[in-house]
Amino acid sequence: MRVLGVDPGLTRCGIGVIDSGRASRPSLVAVDVIRTDAYGASDVRLGLIADAFDRFLDDCRPDVVAIERPFARSDVSTIMGTAQASGLTMGLAARRGIPVAMHTPSEIKKAVSGNGRADKKQVTNMVTRILRLDEPPKPADAADALAVAICHLWRGAVGAQSTPGSTKDVLARRAQGLQGSGMTKAQEQWAAAIRTAKSR
């Protein structure tokens, strides 16, 4: 299983990709933060995020995309930007037939650190330990994206409102030409399981 985690934001959008291996010992595949000019036009900024996110989907070919669910804040402009980036990444994944799951901030913190109210430093330290990294991912948005991916790997669709419905069928990826030249081993196993389930 390859999970791409997203810490959505319009100015900084964290992207982290992990492989499950053994579920208790996930490994880092890639991590980055997509940055846009805080004073730029929203449409241009979203376009830049879309281009960068598409490249991640092409290069990493995840089996699922997990996104931190936006939550209400007093700063309306911040929550609007976060919601826009969240919806954008959700739509780009769905267009390629990749299942999408949403996880709340407290759910992510609890999965990674055991404490639903952990601060960013605690989350970063746990992500560093879990992935056996030589140094903490920076900035915090990068660590947060990896935490989202770890949360989904460990908690899966339980309470995550995963959306692997018929419109996100992994078998359609190759035909659409949007997922690269072929499927990963995990994707092939998933496709075989879907075929078996549909034949019953």
**Which residue numbers belong to the known binding site for Mg(2+)?**
7, 68, 141
Catalytic: which of 19, 63, 141, 144?
141
Tell me whether residue 68 is one of the annotated catalytic residues: yes
Catalytic residue among 7, 19, 63, 144: 7
CA angle 194, 195, 197 (to 5 degrees): 65
Question: Would you say 187 and 170 are in contact if contact means Cβ atoms under 8 Å apart?
Answer: yes
Q: How many CA atoms lie within 13 A of 92 on its CB side?
A: 26
Helical ranges in the chain per DSSP H:
42-60, 76-95, 105-113, 120-130, 140-155, 173-176, 185-199
Active-site residue (options: 19, 63, 68, 144):
68
Burial per residue of 64-88, b for 16 or more beta-carbon CB atoms within 10 angstroms, e otherwise = bbbbbbbeeeeeeeeeebbebbbeb
Distance, CA of 99 to CA of 16 (rounded, Å) = 16
Annotated binding site: 7, 68, 141
| Positions marked catalytic | 7, 68, 141
